[in-house]
Amino acid sequence: MSVRAIRGAIQVEANSVEAIASGVKELLPAILLANGIVTDQVISVLLTATPDLNADFPAASAREVGFGSVPLLCATEIDVPGALPRVIRAMLHCEISVLPSEIKHIYLKGATALRKDLAQ
C-alpha cells in the first residue's frame, strides 16, 4: 500500500446549502467509485470552495455520505480574478495500491474546464 492523493472538483449551481450539499454528495462518491476505494482507505480530505460559496461547509455534507470518521478540512480557494465560480475542490489522501498514473481524478460539470486532460 502507498499513500496517494486523488483530486476532484465540481461546479455547483448556486451559493446555497442545497447546491453545496448536492455537489459534495455527487463528487466524493464519484471519486471513490472511479478509483475502487472505500472510506476506510481514506486518510483525510481537504475540501476547498471558491469565495462565492459560503452558504455551508462542504465537510458537513461529506459526513452524510460516509466520511464521518475521516478527518476533514475546509478552506477557501484563492480569489483569482476571472476564475471559474462556484467550485468545490477535493483532495483525498488515501492508502491504495495503484501507481500514480492509474489514479482517476474526477472533474464534474463546469469544473471539467479546470483540467480538460483529466475530466470525466
Per annotation, catalytic residue among 4, 86, 94, 107: 107
- 115 carries an active-site annotation: yes
Closest CA to 62 of 91, 82, 34, 35: 91
Is 94 tagged catalytic? Answer: no
SS3 at position 93: strand
Q: In what order do the strands lie in the sheet with 72-76?
A: 72-76, 42-49, 87-96, 2-11, 106-108
Q: Does the active-site annotation cover 89? A: yes
Catalytic residue among 4, 86, 89, 94: 89
* Residue 7: active-site member: yes
Beta carbons of 37 and 5 less than 8 angstroms apart: no
- Alpha-carbon torsion 58, 22, 3, 105, what sign? negative
Please check whether residue 73 is in contact with residue 90, taking contact to mean a CB–CB distance below 8 angstroms. no
Q: Find the catalytic residue in 4, 18, 26, 74.
A: 74
Residue in 63, 64, 86, 95 annotated catalytic: 63
Q: Which is the catalytic residue, given 77, 86, 94, 102?
A: 77
Catalytic entry in 7, 13, 18, 64? 7
| Catalytic annotation, residues | 7, 63, 74, 77, 89, 107, 115
